[in-house]
């Protein structure tokens, strides 16, 4: 029995000596951590830009005994509006039709028994155009003269940028500079050396869109006084998420 135990112990020792030892460098985890070390920041920027164009939707609602009479009445006024806009330096590409409608008009009639009913009362036609004006100082005068030309509807006024992408690009660059400045301050505070950016991501902000001043329909009476308007500014913002390497 003792001989068998001695043999088993010797076999175990021999097997242990034949199994290779796997050595893991002590610095492997450190190298991995160093490669993954980074500083992640979010840069932000915004800018107020004066608009470079104004747009207004002007229209006419006309009545007529027949469909043709109603539509012709609206068309006559719109032709006058187009000619008027041309006199203000508005090109063909800056004026366009936004809506043309023709509906039967009705009126309420009281019956002998006291009830009411709707009966046909001619036709109602509407036609409107949107005009974009680069000389925003003349917009109020254009609106007044449009009323004198027969318009009786002003659907809204908006101010915008002809090249909103350029304004957005400017604030994106400013946001990235803000992110780099933040990363530099954090690296200095942590006593490490900042490396190159590893990832840069932009977040859509939707800046640079036209600023509406009167989104709901407004009916206007004729007046000899230009409509006062204030263009204000258009806010464009950007947000940049960036990660920077930490150098060894």
Q: Is residue 41 pLDDT above 80, yes or no?
A: yes
Q: What is the mean pLDDT of residues 148-167?
A: 91
pLDDT over threshold 70, residue 40: yes
Among candidate residues 160, 157, 135, the one with its CA nearest the CA of residue 233 = 160
Kindly state the average pLDDT of the residues 96-119: 89
Which pLDDT tens digit goes with each residue over 58-70? 999 999 999 999 9
- Residue 224 or residue 221, greater confidence: 224
pLDDT band at 206 (very low <50, low <70, confident <90, very high): low
Position 202 pLDDT exceeds 50: yes
Instruction: Report whether pLDDT(164) > 60.
Output: yes
Partner residues linked to 127 by β-bridges: 60, 100
What's the confidence (pLDDT) of residue 153? Answer: 92
Contact between 240 and 179 (Cβ < 8 Å): yes
Q: Tell me what percent of the residues of the chain surpass a pLDDT of 90.
A: 61
Whether residue 126 contacts residue 99, with contact meaning beta carbons closer than 8 Å, is answered with yes
Query: What pLDDT sits at residue 184?
Result: 96
DSSP assignment string, 218-238:
B-----SSPPP-----EEEEE
Q: State the number of CA atoms in the 13 A half-sphere of 238 facing the CB.
A: 26
Taking a C-beta distance cutoff of 8 angstroms, is the pair 71, 125 a contact? yes
- The pLDDT assigned to 108 comes to 87
Per-residue confidence (pLDDT) for residue 18, from 0 to 100: 31
Average pLDDT estimate for 141-152: 93
The full 3-state SS of 158-211, as one line of letters, equals: EEECCCHHHHHHHHHHHHHHHHHHHHHHHHHHHCCEEEEEEEEEEECCCCCCCE
For 153-175, what is the mean pLDDT? Answer: 92
- Examine the pLDDT at 78 and tell me if it is beyond 80: yes
Helix axis angle for 67-87 and 139-148, nearest 10°, is 150
pLDDT (mean) for 31-53: 83
Q: Looking at residue 230, what is its pLDDT? A: 83
Distance CA 75, CA 191 (A): 74
52 contacts: CB under 8 Å, gap ≥ 6: 134, 160, 161, 162
pLDDT for 36 equals: 64
Q: Which helix (H) or strand (E) holds 28?
A: helix 28-36
Average pLDDT, the chain: 81
Beta bridge partners of 126: 61, 101
- Report the candidate in 150, 180, 4 with the shortest Cα–Cα distance to residue 63: 150
Residue 20, pLDDT > 70, answer no
pLDDT for res 86: 92
Q: What is the pLDDT of residue 5?
A: 37
Model confidence at 29, pLDDT cuts 50, 70, 90, reads low
Confidence grade of residue 224 (pLDDT, cut at 50, 70, 90): low
């Amino acid at each position: 029995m003792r001989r068998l135990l001695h043999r088993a112990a010797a076999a175990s020792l021999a097997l242990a000596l034949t199994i290779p030892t796997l050595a893991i460098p002590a610095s492997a985890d450190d190298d991995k951590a160093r490669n993954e070390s980074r500083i992640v920041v979010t840069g932000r920027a915004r800018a107020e830009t004066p608009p470079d164009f104004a747009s207004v939707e002007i229209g006419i609602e006309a009545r007529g005994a027949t469909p043709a009479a109603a539509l012709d009445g609206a068309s006559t006024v719109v032709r006058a509006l187009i000619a008027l806009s041309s006199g203000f330096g508005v090109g063909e590409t800056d004026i366009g039709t936004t809506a043309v409608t023709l509906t039967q008009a009705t009126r309420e009639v009281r019956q002998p028994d006291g009830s009411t009913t709707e009966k046909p009362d001619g036709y109602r036609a509407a036609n409107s155009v949107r005009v974009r004006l680069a000389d925003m100082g003349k917009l109020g005068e254009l609106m007044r003269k449009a009323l004198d030309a027969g318009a009786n509807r002003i659907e809204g006024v908006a101010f915008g940028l002809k090249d909103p992408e350029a304004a957005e690009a400017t604030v994106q660059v400013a946001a990235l500079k803000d992110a780099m400045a933040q990363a530099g301050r954090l690296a200095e505070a942590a006593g490490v050396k900042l490396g190159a950016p590893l990832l840069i991501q932009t977040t859509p902000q939707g800046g640079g869109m036209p600023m509406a001043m009167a989104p709901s329909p407004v009916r206007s009476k004729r007046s000899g006084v230009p409509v006062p308007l204030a263009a204000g500014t258009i806010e464009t913002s950007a947000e940049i998420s960036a990660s920077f390497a930490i150098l060894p």
